[in-house]
Amino acid sequence: MLLRRLSEAAGVSSQETEIRNLIKAEANKLGAEVKTDALGNVLAYKQGRKDGPTIMVAAHMDEVGLMVVGVEDSGLLRFKPIGGIDRRVLVAKQVLVGPDKIPGVIGSKPIHLQKRDERNTPFQWQELYIDIGAKDKAEAEKLVPLGTTAIFATAFQQLSEEIVMGKALDDRVGCNVLLELLADVYDCNLVCAFTVQEEVGLRGAGVAAYAVDPDAALVIEGTTASDVPDVPEHGHATSVGKGPALTIMDRTSIPAKPLVEKLQRVAEKENIPTQFRRATTGGTDAGKIQLTKGGIPVAGISVPCRYIHSPASIASLSDIQATIRLVKGVLQAF
C-alpha cells in the first residue's frame, strides 16, 4: 500500500530526504515532469491545455519529530521538538534516530524517584532523553552527530477494512492524494507541490507558490479529528469517516469563497460526503500560498485524523478516497 510506505518514511522538517526520494520516484512513474527547488520542495507538473489555467495542489511532506541537541557523559541523547508535539505522550516511546534509523527509547526520571509535585506535572523537555544503548558520550557522538533527527518507530497498520493507523498521517495522507491526482490528465495545467518545513512555519509553501504562480491553489491536509469520548459534539473539529473537511477559516487563512463553493457544488454533483472543519485554530500551507506575489485564491480540503502530531494517528480510507474523488472532480471542472 502506497500510504504505508509514505507513512513509514522519515521526513522530519528540514531533513525530508527519504520521503522526498520516495515521492519523486512515484511521481516519475506517473509520467510527471518532476523538479526539486533549492528549499527541497518537489514540484510535479502535468500539462493540460495550453490555454488552460494553472492549478497548484499542495501537501506537505515533512513531519513533526525530534532533533538531538546534546549528549550526556552516559551516552544519553538530549533533544528538542521540531514542530508541535505534546511532551506528555513521549515517555517510553520508541524512536528511530538518524538516516541509519538507530533504535532508541525516550526515557525520564523513574516515577519512584519523583517528588510528589513532579508526578502531577508533565516532564519538561530538559527532563527527557533518548537512550540508544550507547556506553558513553564518545560512542553516542560517533553514532549520532548533533543535529540528527529522530522519528517515531511506528509501523503502519490497517486496523479494519476502513481504518488505518500510522505516524505522520499529517500530511502523508495529503501526499497520497496528490500522487493519485498525477495518474490522470486534466484540461487545466496541474502542479502538485509536495512542500517542506510546513510544521515549522509553512516555509516551503511560499517558495513553491512563488515559483509556480498558479491561478488558484488547493491545499490537502491531514487535520485534527476530536470525535472522542468526553468531547461534546460541537467540539469535534472533524469526524473520522464523514468525508473530507472543507475549511472556511483557520488561524492563517480565510479561503476564497468562490473556490469553497465550487468544491461544494462538485461534492453535491458527485455525491461525495463532506463536512466543514469546525475549528479555527491551527494553520496550513494555505496561509503562505494565499499571500504570495499578488495573491492567490486558495481553498483547503482536509482528511480527518485522530491524534495528529503523536506517535500514531488514525484515519479512514473512505475519507481519503472521497478526498481524491473531490479534488479530481474540481480539477476536471477547471
End-to-end CA distance of the chain: 30
Do 59 and 175 contact (CB within 8 A), yes or no?
yes
Phi, psi of 165 (to 5 degrees): -130, 140
Q: How far apart (Å, rounded) are the C-alpha atoms in residues 136 and 113?
A: 23
Q: Which residue has the cell 473512505?
A: 318
Q: Is the pLDDT of residue 232 over 90?
A: no
Checking if the pLDDT of 248 tops 70, the result is: yes
Full set of structural domains in the chain with CATH:
2-63+167-333 (3.40.630.10), 65-152 (2.40.30.40)
Confidence of residue 122 (pLDDT cuts 50, 70, 90): confident
Inform me whether the pLDDT recorded for 116 exceeds 90: no
> Which residues touch 4 (CB under 8 Å, ≥6 apart)?
156, 166
**Confidence (pLDDT) at 110:** 74
What is the mean predicted confidence (pLDDT) over 60-85? Answer: 97
Helical H runs in the chain? 2-8, 17-29, 116-119, 137-143, 169-181, 203-212, 257-269, 286-289, 317-333
Cα 58 to Cα 288: distance, rounded to the nearest angstrom: 11
Distance CA 55, CA 219 (A): 11
Question: In the block, which residue shows the cell 480565510?
Answer: 254
Which sequence positions are flagged as catalytic? 198
Tens-place pLDDT, residues 206-215:
999 999 999 9
Lowest mean pLDDT among 25-34, 63-72, 277-286, 299-308: 277-286
Quick one: pLDDT band at residue 196, thresholds 50, 70, 90?
A: very high
CA distance 244 to 222: 10
Mean of pLDDT over the chain:
94
So what's the pLDDT on residue 323? 98
- Average pLDDT in the 115-128 region? 81
pTM of the entire predicted model: 0.95
pLDDT exceeding 90 applies to what percent of the chain? 86
Contact 57, 220 (CB under 8 A): yes
Contact 226, 74 (CB under 8 A): no
Cell of 107: 526515557
Question: What percent helix, strand, coil does the chain show, rounded to 5?
Answer: 30, 25, 45
Q: Which pLDDT band, with edges at 50, 70 and 90, does 51 fall under?
A: confident
Cα 223 from Cα 289, distance rounded (Å): 18
Q: Please, is 117 exposed, middle or buried when counting C-beta atoms within 10 Å of its C-beta (0-12, 13-18, 19+)?
A: exposed
- Model confidence over 259-305: pLDDT tens digits? 999 999 999 999 999 999 987 788 899 999 999 999 999 999 999 99
| Res 235 pLDDT > 90 | no
Compute CA 111 distance to the chain's CA centroid, rounded to the nearest angstrom. 33
One-letter amino acid of 110? P
Least confident of 15-19, 48-52, 160-164: 48-52
Report the pLDDT averaged over residues 46-73.
95
The length of the chain is 334
Q: What pLDDT does residue 113 have? A: 63
What is the percent of the chain with per-residue pLDDT over 70, rounded to a whole number? 99
Cis peptide before 171 (omega within 30 of 0): yes
